[in-house]
C-alpha cells in the first residue's frame, strides 16, 4: 500500500481513537446545504427536465469531491463537535448541550428527510439518536471504549417533525465491562416521546 492509499477509506473502527476536528470555515454551511438537498430529494415532485438538470449538477459535485475521499477519522465529518450532528449527514442535525459525567443532552429538530409516514418521524431514526447518545454517555462518563450490545426503545408517542426535541441519557449502572444506559426523548415542554435502555460492553484488546 502506498502512502496515498493509506489516506483512503478504511473501514476499521475509529471509535478507540476518536479525535475531535476543527472543521474548515466553509464546511458547516456545506453540510447544511447537503441536508437541505436531502430534504428536497425526498420531498420534491418535479418535471423530468428538473431531475435531469439536477442530475447533471450532482454529477459535477461528485466529480469535485471524489478526489478528496479520505479514510475514517481524517475528514471533519462526524468529528466536528461544534457542528450539528458532528457534521455527519447520517446524524440528525442536533447540538450537544451538555456533556459531562452526569448526563449527555442533545437538542434539535427532525425534518422532512426523517419522515416515516403520516407526517411524523420514521421509527428507525429514533434508535440512531439513542445509540449516538449512548456512545457519547460512555465517553462523557469516562467509561472504557465500548460498543452497543443491545438497544431497546419504547415508543410512547409519535415523534413530530420540525418541533424542538431533546434527548438526555445517563449511566444507569455499571457491572464489570457492562455499562447500562437509559435515555429519554422529550419535547420542549417535557412531553415524553420515547425512552430507551442500552447495554454498552467494553471492548477487549483486539476487538474491532
Positions touching ligand PKZ (CB under 6 A) are: 18, 20, 131-132, 135-136, 139, 147-150, 176-178, 199, 201, 203-204, 207
Nearer to ligand PKZ by C-beta: 122 or 177? 177
With CA atoms as reference, report the closest residue to 111 among 162, 160, 159.
Answer: 162
Helix residue spans in 17-124 (DSSP H): 27-41, 48-65
Contact at 8 Å (CB) between 165 and 142? no
For ligand PKZ, the closer of residues 89 and 203 by Cβ is: 203
Identity of the residue, 111 or 143, whose beta carbon is nearer to ligand PKZ in the bound complex: 143
d(CA 15, CA 73): 9
State in angstroms the smallest separation of the CB of 174 from ligand PKZ: 12
Residues whose CB falls within 8 Å of the CB of residue 102, separated by 6 or more in sequence, listed in order: 170
Q: Which is nearer to ligand PKZ, 161 or 203 (CB)?
A: 203
Please identify, using beta-carbon distances, which residue of 39 and 172 lies nearer to ligand PKZ: 172
State the nearest-atom distance from the C-beta of 140 to ligand PKZ, in Å.
Answer: 7
Contact 201, 5 (CB under 8 A): no
HSE (CB half, 13 Å, CA atoms) of 151? 18
Cell of 121: 418521524
Task: Identify which of residues 10 and 39 has a Cβ nearer to ligand PKZ in the complex.
Answer: 10
Cβ 86 to ligand PKZ shortest distance, Å: 7
Q: Residue 53 CB, nearest distance to ligand PKZ (Å)?
A: 37
Q: How far is the CB of 142 from ligand PKZ (least distance, A)?
A: 10
Residue 80 grid coordinates: 466536528
Do 79 and 18 contact (CB within 8 A), yes or no? Answer: yes
What is the Cα–Cα distance from 200 to 93, expressed in whole angstroms?
24
Which residue lies nearest ligand PKZ, judged by its C-beta? 135
Closest separation in Å from C-beta 81 to ligand PKZ? 6
Amino acid at each position: 500500500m502506498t502512502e496515498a492509499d493509506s489516506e483512503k477509506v478504511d473501514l476499521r473502527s475509529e471509535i478507540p481513537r476518536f479525535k475531535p476536528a476543527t472543521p474548515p470555515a466553509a464546511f458547516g454551511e456545506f453540510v447544511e446545504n447537503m441536508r437541505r438537498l436531502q430534504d428536497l430529494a425526498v420531498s420534491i415532485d418535479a418535471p423530468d427536465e428538473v431531475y435531469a438538470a439536477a442530475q447533471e449538477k450532482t454529477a459535477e459535485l461528485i466529480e469535485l469531491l471524489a478526489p478528496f475521499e479520505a479514510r475514517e477519522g481524517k475528514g471533519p465529518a462526524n468529528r466536528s463537535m461544534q457542528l450539528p450532528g458532528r457534521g455527519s449527514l447520517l446524524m440528525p442535525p442536533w447540538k450537544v448541550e451538555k456533556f459531562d459525567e452526569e448526563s449527555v443532552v442533545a437538542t434539535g429538530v427532525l425534518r422532512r428527510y426523517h419522515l416515516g409516514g403520516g407526517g411524523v418521524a420514521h421509527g428507525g431514526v429514533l434508535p440512531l439518536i439513542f445509540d449516538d447518545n449512548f456512545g457519547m454517555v460512555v465517553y462523557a462518563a469516562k467509561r472504557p471504549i465500548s460498543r452497543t450490545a443491545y438497544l431497546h426503545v419504547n415508543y410512547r408517542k409519535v415523534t413530530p417533525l420540525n418541533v424542538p426535541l431533546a434527548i438526555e441519557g445517563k449511566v444507569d449502572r455499571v457491572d464489570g465491562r457492562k455499562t447500562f444506559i437509559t435515555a429519554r426523548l422529550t419535547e420542549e415542554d417535557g412531553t415524553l416521546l420515547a425512552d430507551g435502555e442500552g447495554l454498552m460492553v467494553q471492548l477487549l484488546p483486539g476487538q474491532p
